[in-house]
């Protein structure tokens, strides 16, 4: 299960994720967020409520990063240790901008 919530002010989009980001939920997540990115220059994704992430979720962030590299910045904030560990394992901590709690 994954619940999403977003908050858009000017060109800053804050996206809240709650639950699990796996190969099933990540597809929906990608569709949803890419639809809102047209004029966004600062993307903040709040992972405070994210409990689980799999490689599919990681891939979604890689895709997002690549898109944002073209139009602005992306930050992952409030990343929990358990989730951070997965980012770390995959070596994503250098590639993505991750702000752990």
Partner 1 sequence: MKKKESKKKYPFLLKSCGVIFLIFLAVSIISSVYTRREYLEIHIDEVEKNTEMLNHYAAERLTSYRSLPVLIDAWERDLEVYSSAFMAQLQSSAWVNQLDLPEVTAERVAAMKNSDQRAFGYVCYTRIAYGFDLMYNSFRPTALYCVKMVGGSPAYLFWSDNNSENNYMIPTVPHEIGWDDRPALNEIYASASPDCVMIKGESSVTGEDQMLVYTPIVENGTVLCVIVCAKDWVEVENDISHSAFKIAVVNVLLLFLLTLIVVAFVYRYEREKLRIAAEQQKTQAEMAIAAKIQSDQMPDPAREFSAQKGIDISGFIKPARDIGGDFFDCFMIDDSHTAIVIADVSDKGIPAALFMMLTKTLIKSELMQGSSPAEALNRINRQVSEQNAQGMFVTIWLAVVNLLTGACSVVNAGHENPFVKPAGGAWNELRYHHALAVGITPKTVYTDHKYTLNPGDSIFVYTDGVTDAVNSQHRRYGCERLKAALNGCAVSGAESLVRLVREDVSAFFAGEEQFDDITMLCVRFLGFSSITVAAQNGSMNAVNAFVLSKAETFGASKQALKEIRLSVEEIFGNIVDYAYGEGSGTVAVEVMPDERTKVFSVVFRDSGAPFDPTARESPDLTQQNVGGLGIYLAKKMMDELEYEYKDGHNVLTMRKKLCSDASFKEEPKCLTQE
Using CB under 8 A as the binding rule, whether residue 36 contacts partner 1 is answered as no
Shortest Cβ 11–partner 1 spacing (Å): 25
Residues 45-84 close enough to bind partner 1 by CB under 8 A: 52, 54-56, 58-59, 62-63, 66, 82
Shortest Cβ 80–partner 1 spacing (Å): 11
* Whole-Å CA distances, 21 to 10, 38, 73: 27, 23, 21
For residue 52, give the nearest of 29, 35, 33 by alpha carbon: 29
Using CB under 8 A as the binding rule, whether residue 19 contacts partner 1 is answered as no
Please list, residue by residue across 33-59, b when 16 or more beta carbons sit within 10 angstroms of its beta carbon and e when fewer do: beeebeebebbbbbbeebebbeebbbe
Using CB under 8 A as the binding rule, whether residue 24 contacts partner 1 is answered as yes
* Interface residues toward partner 1, by CB under 8 A: 22-24, 52, 54-56, 58-59, 62-63, 66, 82, 86, 89-92, 95
């Amino acid at each position: 299960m994954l619940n999403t919530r977003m908050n858009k002010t000017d060109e800053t989009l804050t996206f809240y994720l709650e639950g699990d980001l796996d190969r099933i939920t990540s597809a929906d997540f990608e569709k949803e967020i890419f639809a809102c990115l047209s004029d966004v220059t600062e993307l903040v994704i709040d992972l405070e409520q994210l409990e689980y992430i799999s490689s599919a979720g990681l891939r979604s962030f890689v895709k997002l990063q690549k898109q944002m590299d073209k139009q602005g910045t992306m930050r992952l904030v409030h990343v929990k240790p358990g989730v951070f560990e997965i980012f770390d394992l995959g070596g994503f901590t250098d590639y993505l901008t991750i702000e752990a709690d």
